[in-house]
């Protein structure tokens, strides 16, 4: 069946590094997305991985291992504005997106 | 500013009433989607449209209908609202069915 697992909540300290994991089991694979969603706002695109490896974009990096059904989002030099939910989504073989429930990241000073 | 506009932002509705959530995009994207977001659950696809004139059912289509008369507009209609349809509804679009999604600001619907 289809399943995407992410931790429900994580806490980290301002200035530190945090890794948010996502594991998935889906019917086919056509890419994995990470979105950021601040409370009461719309999700916004962060990254897209379709091949194995690390994609770096400023303070944010995303990693994918298709053989393990695993991805992570790495946030460096955490800022208070990074407090948000982070959503993992997998595009299946039929091009539909399956979404995880999201990881709420709390940043403490 | 280019993007997706949803209306209304928030609405309280009596059970049994008909309601249409409006969604308009000005990015000329081919694909459009309606999702609902509930606490503790991932975004769930209600209906989608890969191009003007076509629509498809998503994961949770029952009680909802959509139309795609043109590229820009993708309204979602609840024919007879029920309390379980209380949720935040997001409209989204993408250039194609393989691209990243751009989301509207959401419509918070409460059915009493």
- Tens-place pLDDT, residues B1-34: 669 999 999 999 999 999 999 999 999 999 999 9
With CB atoms and an 8 Å threshold, state whether A101 touches B42: yes
Which of A42, A94, A99 to mutate to probe the B interface, most B CBs <10 Å? A42
pLDDT tops 70 at residue A1: no
Chain A residues touching B44 at Cβ < 8 A: 99
Q: Is A106 within 8 Å of A83 (Cβ atoms)?
A: yes
Segment B88-99 mean pLDDT: 90
Neighbours of B61 (CB within 10 A): 16
Mean pLDDT (whole number) for A81-100: 92
Q: Which of A31-35, B11-15, B98-102 has the lowest mean pLDDT?
A: B98-102
How crowded is residue B49: how many other Cβ atoms within 10 Å of its Cβ? 21
Contact (Cβ atoms closer than 8 angstroms) between residue B32 and residue B49? yes
Query: Are A47 and A57 in contact, with CB atoms under 8 Å apart?
Result: yes
Chain A residue with CA closest to B38: the answer is: A101
Q: What's the DSSP call for residue B73? A: B
Question: Residues A28-38: what's their mean pLDDT?
Answer: 95
Query: What is residue A95's predicted lDDT score, i.e. its pLDDT?
Result: 74
pLDDT at B45: 95
How far apart CA B16 and CA B19 sit, in angstroms, is: 9
Of the candidates A31, A42, A101, the beta carbon closest to that of B90 is on A42
What distance in Å separates the CA atoms of residue B62 and residue B60, rounded to the nearest whole number? 6
């Amino acid at each position: 069946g289809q399943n995407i697992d992410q931790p429900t909540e994580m806490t980290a300290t301002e200035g530190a590094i945090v890794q948010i994991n996502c594991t998935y089991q889906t019917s086919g694979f056509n890419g994995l997305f990470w979105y950021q969603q601040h409370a009461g706002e719309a999700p916004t695109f962060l990254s897209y991985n379709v091949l194995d490896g690390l994609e770096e974009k400023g303070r944010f990096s995303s990693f994918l291992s298709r053989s393990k059904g695993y991805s992570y989002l790495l946030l460096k030099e955490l800022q208070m504005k990074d407090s948000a939910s982070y959503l993992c989504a997998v595009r299946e073989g039929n091009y539909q997106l399956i979404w995880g429930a999201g990881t709420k990241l709390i940043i403490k000073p | 500013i280019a993007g997706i506009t949803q209306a209304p932002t928030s609405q309280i509705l009596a059970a049994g009433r008909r309601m249409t959530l409006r969604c308009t995009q000005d990015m000329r994207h081919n694909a459009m989607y309606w999702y609902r977001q509930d606490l503790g659950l991932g975004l769930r696809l209600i209906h989608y449209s890969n191009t003007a004139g076509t629509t498809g059912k998503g994961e949770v289509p029952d009680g909802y209908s959509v139309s795609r008369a043109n590229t820009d507009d993708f309204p979602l209609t609840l024919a007879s609202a029920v309390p379980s349809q209380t949720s935040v509804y997001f409209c989204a679009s993408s250039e194609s069915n393989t691209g990243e999604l751009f989301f509207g600001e959401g419509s918070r619907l409460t059915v009493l």
